[in-house]
A = this chain, B = another copy of it.
Amino acid sequence: MAIEIERKFLVETDEWRSGIESQVRLVQGYLANHQNATVRVRIKGQQAFLTIKGATHGISRAEFEYPIPVADAEVLLRDLTVSPPIEKTRYQVRYRSDLWDLDVFSGANAGLIMAEIELETADQVVDLPPWLGNEVSHDSRYYNVNLARHPYHHW
């Protein structure tokens, strides 16, 4: 088990593109979403994972991740999720000493770009890049599980 602590922001400008270090295509859906847990199936490039996250306490939550065969993930995403999968390209972007995840959504969430950073501790000071917009760490509309059910295009 790991504890995940992250902050999420909207992205205002395209300046982040100069810091791209890598990119990968993500397709993900949810097998569960209730007050105690979410269960996510994700295809990440040529790999697939099952990820279970516990309830959020502040900006941290318990996380368990297991690799699974991509062929299994394809069936799970096609038949067993609670709502249609979401699709996005994740860019790893360098800003000074930090590596950020920039998620550029497609499909029903096209137009949405979010930046995330994983922290060691909840009170860690973060060097905020100039291309960031508002922080949305606590805005549940931007949780991926909610973007699957209520896509950005329908807001």
Contacts and interface: CB of A to CB of B under 8 A. Distances in A.
Interface string A91-103: 0000000000000
Contacts of A108: none
A75 B62 contact: yes
A79 B64 contact: no
B80 A1 contact: no
Interface string A64-101: 10101001100110011110000000000000000000
Contacts of A82: 34, 36
A2 to B, nearest CB: 11
A50 interface: yes
A27 interface: no
Contacts of A32: 31-32, 34, 37, 39
A54 interface: yes
Nearest to A73: B64
A54 B68 contact: no
A76 B50 contact: no
A72 B80 CA distance: 23
A52 interface: yes
A1 B62 contact: no
A62 B79 contact: yes
A64 B72 contact: yes
